[in-house]
Amino acid sequence: MKSVMMGFEICDSGFLGTSQDIFSEIDAKLKLSSSLVVCFGEILIDFVPTVSGVSLAEAPAFKKAPGGAPANVAVGIARLGGSSAFIGKVQNCLPTRFLSLCANFVAEVCLCAELISSVLCQVGKDEFGFMLANILKENNVDNSSMRFDDGARTALAFVTLRADGEREFLFFRNPSADMLLEESELDVNLIEKAAVFHYGSISLIEEPCRSAHLAALKIAKKSGTFLSYDPNLRVALWPSEEHARQGIMSIWDQADLIKVSEDKIAFLTKGEDPYDDDVVLKLFHPNLKLLIVTEGSEGCRYYTKNFKGKVAGLKVEAIDATGAGDAFVGGLLSNLASDLTLFQDEKRLRQVLLFANACGAVTVTQRGAIPALPTRDTVLQLIQQSSA
């Protein structure tokens, strides 16, 4: 059943077909992609409470888990069988000669891998930095473009979901290595060969990383790469709310795809209703191809120049929501990379968004971000179970 509203074609859930049709078409069409997605930004260590529903101060203990939104997306894509890349920085704590040998080894691994995800980031030369580099490699993420800083530490973040439903964050990055990535350290060749260049907004907060981010964006755009933006709202890291709003919006009109949540819409529009389509469409810039609004367990809304609609979420028992949005993006981009025109086909888009919703749903059933990211088979199994 279809109806027309405000110039957009809107379809109800029947648009996807029967339960068996949904599963069969997704299983058949969500093929493994060899098209590269390059992810730019931060990679860090998340510390998550061992029990749910408590504040950071009340937590009896914490479990460490690799995280950072762009890195989560890169691993998410690779774990789904796709190809992605990551640029960023961590701290260095080992001799230069050893690092050179490690870099050569990683390059050989990347050349031999059939399915490679690549990360552009900077980490510290500390134990956490090398742990993160190794985790990326173990997950078939190309970490050859990671940079190691001799001075600053790898970023740490304590995160919890309190009993009142509010997420609480505490960051240690004064400065952290990811903030110190230089434009001269960018892997230009890697960016130029990407089908999709994905980024967030944390890397826009401080120099020199901001300039490196803008330079990478310029390289990608010049190369005709599809630009994917998932702004991450961490107001405490910015000088003020207005600085955060201006910083996030400063590159808004560059993106082909933007994914936001309801709380970010409310923030960016200074308190307007995020469920009002007229409010959401204020954020739809002239060159934008696809705007996605995620609604947690309720699913997501999608907006293109020709149609809009909603795809419902899948019900699961949630334990930890950390990384769910990144899992969603990984599910979306793993498919978009192989079909950069899928936003023109509403039926195809809805199938991919159902898959992305399922990626997020699986992730919330475990603690931590990267450890909880699903495989393609796990996602398809949940879709089949939910549609039975």
What is 343-381 written as a DSSP string? Answer: GG-HHHHHHHHHHHHHHHHHHTTSSSSGGGPPPHHHHHH
User: Is the Cβ–Cβ distance between 91 and 128 less than 8 Å?
Assistant: yes
Distance from chain centroid for Cα 26 = 21
Predicted local confidence at residue 151, as pLDDT: 84
Structure tokens at 294: 């995620």
Structure tokens belonging to residue 360: 């997020």
What is the C-alpha to C-alpha distance for residues 330 and 74, in angstroms, rounded to an integer?
Answer: 7
Q: What is the pLDDT along the chain (388 residues), one digit of tens a residue?
A: 333 333 343 344 444 554 455 555 555 554 444 599 999 999 999 898 888 889 999 999 998 889 899 999 999 999 999 998 889 998 775 443 333 433 343 333 333 333 345 555 555 567 888 899 999 999 999 999 999 888 888 999 998 878 776 678 899 988 899 999 999 999 999 999 999 999 999 999 999 999 999 999 999 999 999 999 999 989 989 999 999 999 999 999 999 999 999 999 999 999 999 999 999 999 999 999 999 999 999 999 999 999 999 999 999 999 888 899 999 999 999 999 999 999 999 999 999 999 999 999 999 998 878 889 999 999 999 999 988 6
Is the distance from CB of 201 to CB of 248 less than 8 angstroms?
Answer: yes
H helices of 10-169, in order, are 19-29, 69-79, 96-112, 127-138
**What is the C-alpha separation between 85 and 68, in angstroms, rounded?**
14
Measured CA to CA, the distance from residue 331 to residue 126 in angstroms comes to 31
Whole-angstrom distance, CA of residue 313 vs CA of residue 356? 9
Quick one: pLDDT at residue 10? 39
Pseudo-torsion of CA 156, 219, 198, 122, nearest 10°?
-20
Distance (Å, whole) CA 346 – CA 302: 10
Sequence-separated (6 or more) residues with CB below 8 Å from residue 148:
89, 90, 91, 92, 99, 122, 123, 124, 125, 129, 177
Q: Which residues contact 363 (CB under 8 A, 6 or more apart)?
A: 323, 324, 326, 327, 369, 372, 373, 374
CA distances from 368 to 79, 96, 166, 310, 341 (A): 15, 32, 17, 27, 33
What is the Rg, in whole angstroms, of the alpha carbon atoms belonging to the chain?
20
User: Angle 346-363/324-336 helices, nearest 10 degrees?
Assistant: 150
Encoded tokens for 158: 């304590």
Distance (Å, rounded) from C-alpha 328 to C-alpha 263?
17
